[in-house]
Amino acid sequence: MAKIKPSQGAPYARIMGVGGYRPTRVVPNEVILETIDSSDEWIRSRSGIATRHWASPEETVTAMSVEAAGKAIADAGLTPEQIGGVIVSTVSHFKQTPAVATEIADKIGAGKPAAFDISAGCAGFGYGLTLAKGMVVEGSAEYVLVIGVERLSDLTDLEDRATAFLFGDGAGAVVVGPAKEPAIGPTVWGSEGDKSETIKQTVAWTDYRDGTVEKFPAITQEGQAVFRWAVFEMAKVAQQALDAAGISAADLDVFIPHQANMRIIDSMVKTLKLPEHVTVARDVETTGNTSAASIPLAMERLLATGQAKSGDTALVIGFGAGLVYAATVVTLP
């Protein structure tokens, strides 16, 4: 029996560069209040959101991804030709096939990398990061581009008082490459499909196509159920990720949770008993919930503003529709 040659990958993987793109249009709560019966005070108290970015027709999923990817590749000190894999996490690319990752790979000049999309909602960045780490360590690609991108304004029901104010658009990207020491910890991930109805698309595309419903599909959620799950269950997952990495909350420099809701973020900080020295990403205030894009966008802003620095140890956790989740500890690029 023939023996298969073992993989020749790197011993470890790390995030080498990060980039982000936020659409030029900034939408304050006052615009949202034109279609729902609420107030700026109510929106801020419930979510912490003051503004969000909405994409123009020209700011497509592909266009935003190309901008974020270019920044991440440059930040990593690489050229597009060196990228051997492109992973795109999104729920707002409206072509079933081909994968938008292939178009993005071509437009950035990456040559012929492995390229594919994943759908893991707000945990999508964590899923993509884990897959990229595996590719680098396994040896199937030396450098992998991971993109989280959403145009959730296309899937927002502006008359839904529970969700109209939540969502924003944008793209965040990182480059994952080889490392000589651990810089991306073990991933704690999973799903709770029995709760899948708590965050979902209102109707299937086929219902809209066939005229069963007249209203275009949108994202809806059971706010209280999601809040309770995120606060109590995701704090446990975050702690498991710390344990898997062999560190404690006191060892952290930065906490970058999915930017879903300021109340959820603050509750997780309290439950995890994070020390005051830990910098906490609160990008949701001005960016809204951008699903798969939220963690890399928040990471990019913390580094750009000097709130976090290269070499810092960060806990990242994403959670959302499915319900799915993914958490890991990383060294910032």
Active-site residue flag, 289? yes
Task: List the structure tokens of 207.
Answer: 């219902």
* Cβ–Cβ under 8 Å, residues 23 and 56: yes
The predicted pLDDT at position 34 comes to: 97
Reported as a single tens digit per residue, the pLDDT across 61-80 is: 999 999 999 999 999 999 99
Active-site residue flag, 258? yes
Q: Read off the pLDDT band of 6 (50, 70, 90).
A: confident
- Using DSSP's 3-state secondary structure scheme, residue 191 falls into strand
Helical pair 262-272 and 234-245, crossing angle rounded to 10 deg: 50
The predicted pLDDT at position 5 comes to: 84
Out of 29, 122, 261, 277, the active site residue is 122
Q: Read off the pLDDT band of 8 (50, 70, 90).
A: confident
Reported as a single tens digit per residue, the pLDDT across 176-223 is: 999 999 999 999 999 999 999 999 999 999 999 999 999 999 999 998
Reported as a single tens digit per residue, the pLDDT across 78-112 is: 999 999 999 999 999 999 999 999 999 999 999 99
Element of type H or E holding 19: strand 12-21
Out of 29, 53, 93, 258, the active site residue is 258
Average pLDDT over residues 289-295: 98
